[in-house]
Amino acid sequence: MPPAIQIDQVHKFFGKLHAVRGIDLTIEQGEFFALLGPNGAGKSTLINLLAGLLRPTSGTLSVMGHNVVDDYRAARRLLGVVPQELVFDPFFNVREMLRFQAGYFGRGPENDAWIDEILEGLGLTDKANTNMRALSGGMKRRALIGQALAHKPPVIVLDEPTAGVDVELRQMLWQFIKRLNKDGHTIILTTHYLEEAETLCSRVAMMKQGEIVALDSTRNLLDRFQSKQLKLKLDPNRLPEELLPLKRAEENGYVTLGITQTGEIEHVLTKLRSADITVKDLQLTEADLEDVFIEIVRGH
């Protein structure tokens, strides 16, 4: 069984700009995979390469075993991409748009049951006969997600699908997408909401400046880094020199220390007492994927 996505030594140049730098990545069928990185990291470029909207300068990409350049039609038929931008045809209603989209990939009237399922899953049933121009921004976003799914692709790429949408849509979308993943669809997600990646995705790749700087299971990434954070409000607001290596952040009058186990708290408090520093407030939290992301990006 071929992997859902296979990327081998892919480079992409735009003139002198080296946007993607020798990426190797394999995503197996049925995975819920997160692709994370700051703006300009190369995530959207990599997605456009997969979708055939750009050609790699060198290297190969394939979808379900089909090369995206040499076997473009098959590769594109197996892939559904939800873009960041709200781009739609203003002349059709929602159902017509989904039918036309499915028709581009050879799907006819037999696909109508699937379109009904998409409309219901995305809360668009009562908007099925509404012109796209008349929809709110959130409803347009739902319709574009439906458009990417209309031909029932086994591999789905969601590029910032919940950027700027309300909480209700986010919850509805993830309920529907999780069901698709359970049914065997491979899901690839890029998002700035790292709690989404942490909750939904079993494996994560982190990109910076066109390279993958971390690739592991979500659990392993969380375990590799200091997993607890100790937020302290101090009087006076300073740390003894011995505790400075633990410092992770300072804002709003609080200093944040990274620790690996609760037993270290007593060590911290002892050092503070010895330095005549009073603890006015103390908060202990578990580190999340955002903390790991910041550590990795800062380290590279």
Quick check: 101 and 150 in contact, CB under 8 A? Answer: yes
Residue 10 has pLDDT above 70, yes or no: yes
Residue 35 and residue 70: Cα distance in Å, rounded? 25
pLDDT tens, position by position, 87-125: 777 788 999 999 999 998 988 888 999 999 999 988 899
Q: For residue 162, which amino acid is it?
A: T
Q: For residue 268, which amino acid is it?
A: V
Residue 190 and residue 158: Cα distance in Å, rounded? 6
Span of 81-85, 204-208, 233-237 with lowest mean pLDDT: 81-85
Residue 150 and residue 182: Cα distance in Å, rounded? 18
Burial class of 27 by CB neighbour count within 10 A (0 to 12, 13 to 18, 19+) = buried
The tokens 């209700």 sit on which residue? 168
3-state DSSP helix/strand/coil % of the chain, to nearest 5: 40, 30, 30
DSSP-derived letter for residue 136 is -
Nearest CA to 82 out of 140, 37, 125 is that of 140
The H-or-E segment that residue 103 falls in is helix 94-104
Quick check: 207 and 41 in contact, CB under 8 A? Answer: yes
Q: For residue 59, which amino acid is it?
A: G
The winner for highest mean pLDDT among 12-26, 166-180, 216-230 is 12-26
Q: For residue 156, which amino acid is it?
A: I
Arithmetic mean of pLDDT, 289-297 = 74
Residue 266 neighbours by CB under 8 Å, 6+ apart: none
Residue 230 and residue 260: Cα distance in Å, rounded? 10
Nearest CA to 142 out of 183, 177, 100, 91 is that of 177
pLDDT tens, position by position, 243-288: 998 888 888 889 988 887 778 889 999 999 999 999 999 988 776 6
Residue 152 and residue 272: Cα distance in Å, rounded? 60
The tokens 């009073």 sit on which residue? 278
Per-residue pLDDT, 277 = 92
pLDDT tens, position by position, 15-35: 999 999 999 999 999 999 999
